Chains A and B, each alone.
Chain A
Amino acid sequence: MGTGDHQAAEVLVRRHQRRIFGVAFAITGDRRVAEDVAQEAFLRIWRHAANFDPARSVASAWMARIARNLSIDHLRVRRADPVDPATSLALAERVRVADTVESEVARHDGADRVRAALAALPQAQRRALVLASFYGYTATEIAAVEHLPVGTVKGRIRMGLQKMRVALNTEGWER
């Protein structure tokens, strides 16, 4: 790798660091951990950039997904120890707190529409969807936390995603 490549890496990080760090911080809730995750995410992005297929995904979404998956890996470690169910359920509310945050994304039309669609879901569906999407909970884990049959949780996640798809279908769900 030459000097020019290093400069390219630096440009890549500077351009996307707020987004990648934001994903990691929202999920892990810890700035130190989020920075570790963000560093690792950028390394993976850099390593695998040649394999990225623009026909299958938008680059920013692909990068956010890498940060999300690494953040969830970290959370799963923490969940290896017994966790008070109230703590797990509080996670699902954390994203809602962000609803009130005046931020770059809050002013962004696309994110606003997604947030509105998410907020319009019945609470039970939204909670299951948030726990699975942002915190990587399996249906079995959510079922244990919420004292519900696994099938009920799976149905809530599917219904939640489907309702969001209907709500956003004409406004950008499909690329």
Chain B
Amino acid sequence: MTPNCEIGCAGFEDELPLLALGCLTGRERATVLRHVESCASCASELESYSTGLDALMTVLPPVDPPGGLAERVVERVRAEESGRRAPSGRRRPVLAVAAVLVALGIGIGTFVATRGTAGPTVAVGTLHSVSGVASAVSGRVVLTSAWGGRLEMQLDGGPTTSPVTCVVTLADGRRRTVGTFWLHDGYGTWTTGLPAPVSGVRAVSIEDAGGRTIAATRLL
């Protein structure tokens, strides 16, 4: 334990390898990182475990990929670059509306960006607890038209003893269940297919096992 180590290192010795391996939940990760920031000894230990993970990865044998991988990557790089040159003023009205919705207490932080005609459409939303829910559920969702349409979710503070259901609300008001997921210690991440085009999704919500919406975000 170093002089500036306020908490005993022993309590973290099993957690450091898991942090290096990326296998801690959001809250556990935050706790261990706080300790590491104030403890040079544990920071050094963490660095060593990270190097160990790099060494472990070398046992995975190289494999020839399908032909044309390089061309497809370059194609996506080009598409991304053309999207980056899209007019930047597009997001302003979206953020203004989002601010109004935040004021309504729904809990929203969102933008949608169309990355040019060649690039994927991406929507990002921040999930917050809805009014009346005691637990502080938070999360981040990314919708992308890439890979045939994907939804990537990261959720924290959810129920620990029952699953949650992810639901998207479409522009016409219809709701589509994306899937039901178990969280670990209230934390979970998942990526799954999107049942509609990104531009057709208006909201993403999380329901508890009783069908009650516990967190949501609007996509505009």
A residues near B, CB below 8 A?
1, 6, 9-10, 13-14, 17-19, 21-23, 25-27, 31, 34-36, 38-40, 42-43, 46-47, 57-58, 61, 64-65, 68-69, 72-74, 76-77, 80-81, 95, 98, 101, 103-106, 108, 110-111, 114-115, 118, 129, 132-134, 136-141, 151, 154-155, 157-158, 161, 164-165, 168, 172-175
Contacts and interface: CB of A to CB of B under 8 A. Distances in A.
B23 interface: yes
Interface of A is mostly: helix
Contact of A43 (B16, B64, B77): B77
B60 A80 contact: no
B76 A111 contact: no
Contact of B73 (A13, A65, A133, A175): A13
B57 A61 contact: yes
B80 A114 contact: no
Interface string B44-72: 00001101111111111111111001111
Given A39-B76, A73-B189, A77-B192, A18 B66 contact: no
B55 A172 contact: yes
11 contacts: A6-B78, A10-B71, A10-B73, A21-B62, A31-B66, A61-B54, A80-B188, A105-B58, A132-B23, A138-B24, A157-B14
Interface of B: 13-18, 20-25, 48-49, 51-66, 69-74, 76-78, 80-81, 147, 152, 179-182, 184-185, 188-192
Contacts of B51: 173-175
B13 A158 contact: yes
